[in-house]
Structure 1
Amino acid sequence: MATPDVSVIIGAYNAMPYLTRSVQSVLDQTIGSDRIELIAVNDGSTDDTGDELDRFAKAHPSTVRVIHQENSGGPAKPRNVGLSLATGRYVFFLDADDYLGPEALDRMVTMADENNTDVVLGKMVGVGGRGAPKSMFRQDQPKTDVFSSRAYWTLNPMKLFRRELIEQHNLRFPTDMKTGEDQLLVGPAMIHAAGISILSSYDCVYWVTRDDGGNTTVVTGGAAPRVIILSRMLPLAGELVKEGSRRDHLFARHIQFELTRALGWLLREPNEGVSRALFDELHAVISQWDTAGAVCSLSAIVRLQHHLVREGRFEESLAVLRYMEEDPGKLGGKRPGSGMKMLPSEVSVRQGKIFAHYPFFRDASLGIPDDVYDITREVTAGTWFDAESLTIEWCLDERGTLLVRGKRKKAPYVDLELVAESDDGVEIAVPIEDVATPGREGTSSSFVGRFPLSRSGVWSFSIRIAGTGMKSVPVKRAPGSEPLKWWHYGVPRYAVIQHRNGKPRVRVDRVRPLQGVRRRLSL
């Protein structure tokens, strides 16, 4: 038999009925069965998994090979067994719950061959409510690496690996971890890879949430397994990559996810002694490695958690976790996912920056730097109001006034301002008035900005947060507005709405006598 292009390895434990679709998706690959070998390892299943695998092997003896073994307690050993038997140029690890798009292997092998890359990430699609990684799949990347892409932000094993790379570095899944064991193979494989391809233009892997809740990441609870992941991955990445921005890039991923997930589980730990001991392990690994540069790109709530762990502040760390559970409800929201940004119920604007009033903000006893609480990069002006609600209206008074109305979102209170910018570069900002005064915990209310039309010119309008250099949100609606006409100190004036590139602009000028005759303007 010729050397297959791909060895697909499936470790299976009590995987019915999902297993049938998983295996069939491999056999249906357009790359052709002559270019595939499927190695399925039954890890001591007590349901019909073993019988189903034997049925496939009998029907496809030249493609499917089945190994039956006693239960090992996790996915690592079955994958390692399959890897030891693989003969393909590439290997692909597929979980028994999941399945492939018909062209997945053909497209991934082609991409690896054409670009001489060692690892290919195929786009993942969540099924049954499972959230699949997205940030690395914005576009196809024929050849990249872990330092200039988001590839490292998905360390599950469902990727195409050049088998030579795995054998050259003697990479295997550790069998003493309950969860996260895949990172110990995938992480170093991607770091060592001569190149990585990212295939985003085709749905390659369908990542399934089991109806019975049997996914490994779901059934494996507790803080200890999460602490172990960080305590192994941070030193591993630190030893493979020298200090600097490249290492910071990798560390950022582990702090964003492994650190915050471990902390989240600490709050659920009923035994305070166990919780403290696990926190001490987190403190030890974080303080051992220089991670300060790694957190600069992360959200403020993660920077705060990292700071407290690095300083060994156990009680304060738990206080932040409780705050994350309770505070979002004040704005009608829910606890943010691990490592994600969090909009607090109160903020302040100082020196052009927006600071979250997370726990211990400006607490003199702790002295946490203000920069830890800076959320300016995490928000936009549109965080505070509905951009689609911004509408231009006329107000005919003694001077002629343009109104911009809008509606606040449920967000912490900040001052807004209406910005008028003329074609010749003049900028005028006026405060926004709230129709319903918002409380300190935020509310959803209407607001209005009033711009006196006393200055001639062609004006565009937008809303921004007062006191910041944050990009403003343009006003795009001016429904059914007839020209406004009024007298200003005995001089007839007018304002008319014009549209350019889908945005309304307002021309303001005095009525010249000849224009008045020609247009028969009645004032």
Structure 2
Amino acid sequence: MPEPLVDHIIAVHDPARPLARAVGSVLNYTRSAVRVSVVCHNTDPGAITRNLGELVHDERMRLLTIEDGIPSPAGPFNAGLEAATAKFTSIMGSDDELQPGAIDSWLALQRRAEADVVIPRLAHARGTPVATPPTRPFRTQSLDGLRDRLSYRSAPLGLVSRERFGSLRMMGGLPSGEDVEYATAVWFSGARIAFDRRGPAYLIHDDAEDRVTFATRSIADDLEFMRRLLGGEVVRGLDARQRTALVVKLFRVHLFALVHNRPTVELWSVAERTALALGVQRCIDAAPAALTFLSQADRSLVDAMSNPHVPDRQLLAAAVRRRRFGRPSTLIPRTFGRLLAREAPLRMMAASMLVRVGR
């Protein structure tokens, strides 16, 4: 086969995954020179081969293996990145798929914009659009990490220039959040970033019973990526505004989700509440101004999360209230002067709605 333009990396740890769906969505519907690297992680390559069926004979397909005994997607993704030789790399979960022509569309936009990075439109497989990142309206080229709120796209999906970012790797050994530092480094690099906001989507499936991303772990395990991220070189290299924007996102997407995903008091213990409070404090220490952009309901939840002595039921009730979107308490910051700020709820929600409708 000719030298590929794109090395598309799919990590798989379980032969029962719908891997043929993921691989077929690339090989069957891409005209450009692409190579799919399926990285078998702590699993039998023979079983993966059987899963792929006839697709395994495609010259654009290769199997890589890694045995590290670590239940983290960082290992196989990093192995795929190490083996890449193409101009661009792209990563993908084994449960997901691309709409027909997605990679061709990304490459066409890359050529028009002379971009280092192209991010795809995301949608759930059932058809619901994913409203991230909540960029400036209609923006498809020359995106900016701060002005286009790129931190809300946690995973570096799409095309990433190997010349510009070939040395970046996922955080090793983490059960989740391994890609956040990688993405943060890309979004705030000053690179030329384009958004294929009306092109074929990257489709997220949730039909695997044990999907790693959705697994319930301890709070300390879930927040280990944040501890390493906030203490790491990438965040130290951000300016104050960039760091604040990142921390606002960490509150909304990661910390609040920890409470939302544990909706009963039986799932909470003193150790879990203590770990949660520590995670909140790390974020505040990294960017104290981040709190001023949060809604009144968000701040009430932060108050409850920060204090392990607040009753669990009160914590859970605050988490429910902050998701009653559209109410004044979810739209108005406690710091009223931030009402119309870029990171405050009103502009964030408006931008998210426009992304949903492809604007």
Normalising by structure 2, we get a TM-score of 0.80
Q: Does residue 1:67 correspond to 2:64, yes or no?
A: yes
What displacement does 1:42 show? 1.3
Q: Does residue 1:6 correspond to 2:2, yes or no?
A: no
1:387-426 to 2 correspondences below 5 Å: none
Whether contact under 8 Å (1:355, 1:375) holds in the other structure is no
Q: Does residue 1:90 correspond to 2:88, yes or no?
A: yes
Partner of 1:181: 178
CA distance in 1, matches of 2:317, 2:265: 14
Q: How many residues align?
A: 336
What displacement does 1:322 show? 2.8
CA distance in 1, matches of 2:216, 2:237: 29
Q: Which amino acid aligns with 2:246?
A: L
Partner of 1:200: 197
CA distance in 1, matches of 2:11, 2:54: 16
Q: Which amino acid aligns with 2:115?
A: T
Partner of 2:351: none
Once the two structures are superposed, what CA deviation does each residue of 1:158-199 show, in whole Å capped at 9, x if it has no partner? 2211112222xx321122211111212222122224121111
Partner of 1:313: 307
- In structure 1, the gaps of 5 or more residues are 326-334, 345-353, 357-368, 380-523
What displacement does 1:102 show? 2.0
The structure with more radius of gyration = 1
CA distance in 1, matches of 2:334, 2:145: 31
CA distance in 2, matches of 1:81, 1:289: 31
Partner of 2:31: 31
What displacement does 1:45 show? 3.2
- In structure 2, the gaps of 5 or more residues are 347-359
Of Structure 1 and Structure 2, the greater strand share is in 1
Matched position secondary structure for 1:68: strand
CA distance in 2, matches of 1:27, 1:246: 38
What displacement does 1:139 show? 3.5
Matched position secondary structure for 2:4: coil
Specify whether residues 110 and 131 from structure 1 end up closer, same or farther in structure 2 by C-alpha distance, changes over 3 A only: closer
Percent identity between the two aligned chains = 19
Once the two structures are superposed, what CA deviation does each residue of 1:440-464 show, in whole Å capped at 9, x if it has no partner? xxxxxxxxxxxxxxxxxxxxxxxxx
Q: Which amino acid aligns with 2:58?
A: H
Matched position secondary structure for 1:260: helix
CA distance in 2, matches of 1:259, 1:317: 18
Partner of 1:239: 236
Once the two structures are superposed, what CA deviation does each residue of 1:92-144 show, in whole Å capped at 9, x if it has no partner? 10111111122211121222232232221111110148773445376451221
Query: Which of these residues, 216, 221, 225, is aligned with residue 217 of structure 2?
Result: 221
CA distance in 2, matches of 1:152, 1:73: 25
CA distance in 2, matches of 1:370, 1:108: 41
Partner of 2:357: none
The CA RMSD over aligned residues, in Å, is 3.3
Q: Which has the higher contact order (CA 8 A, sep 6+)?
A: 2
Q: Which amino acid aligns with 1:161?
A: V
Normalising by structure 1, we get a TM-score of 0.57
Of Structure 1 and Structure 2, the greater helix share is in 2
Specify whether residues 306 and 271 from structure 1 end up closer, same or farther in structure 2 by C-alpha distance, changes over 3 A only: closer
1:482-501 to 2 correspondences below 5 Å: none
CA distance in 1, matches of 2:28, 2:199: 16
Partner of 1:324: 318
Once the two structures are superposed, what CA deviation does each residue of 1:402-454 show, in whole Å capped at 9, x if it has no partner? xxxxxxxxxxxxxxxxxxxxxxxxxxxxxxxxxxxxxxxxxxxxxxxxxxxxx
Partner of 1:52: 51
Whether contact under 8 Å (1:12, 1:96) holds in the other structure is yes
Once the two structures are superposed, what CA deviation does each residue of 1:39-95 show, in whole Å capped at 9, x if it has no partner? 1111233694232347533x213x111123335422111111111111110001011
